[in-house]
Amino acid sequence: MKCLTIRQPWATLIALGEKQIETRSWRTAYRGELAIHAGIQVDKEICRSEPYLSVLARHGYTADNLPAGKILATGRLADCCEVTSDLAMQGWPGGNEYVFGDYAEGRFAWKLEEISLLAEPVSAKGRLGFWEFPGI
């Protein structure tokens, strides 16, 4: 299965369904199944700021207990669109989704759907870009 490594807390926010759009500096033509891997780096400072602090706490997480180096969830990469000034003027996306991403003009928004948290996270070494992991 194709995997994508995402820093914490963003990987957990996706796995929990709190974040449905991953923003990246690069476009992808890939659509299909995708596993969400939490990298080993945790941005502890951002975890202690709002709305991250409250959203993570609602699920029992803090900056100190986020899983790292593990595949947390599976889902589907449904779409990829370029962030434009027109989208920003329309207030897209709203709420926490906007705070949880980098929607600077020229970046790319990857729409994630059908995210399912794994019953047990799977240890794995992450990589840049897409990478393959057998057996999920």
Cα–Cα nearest to 100, from 5, 17, 30: 17
Tell me what the mean pLDDT of segment 109-131 comes to: 95
pLDDT in tens, 65-99: 999 999 999 999 999 999 998 877 677 888 899 99
Q: How far apart are CA 55 and CA 82, in angstroms?
A: 27
Per-residue confidence (pLDDT) for residue 86, from 0 to 100:
85
pLDDT in tens, 49-63: 999 999 999 999 999
CB atoms within 10 A of CB 4: 25
Per-residue confidence (pLDDT) for residue 20, from 0 to 100:
97
Task: Identify the structural domains of the chain with CATH numbers, from first to last.
Answer: 2-125 (2.30.130.30)
Q: What is the pTM of this model?
A: 0.94
**Residue with token string 């595949």:** 71
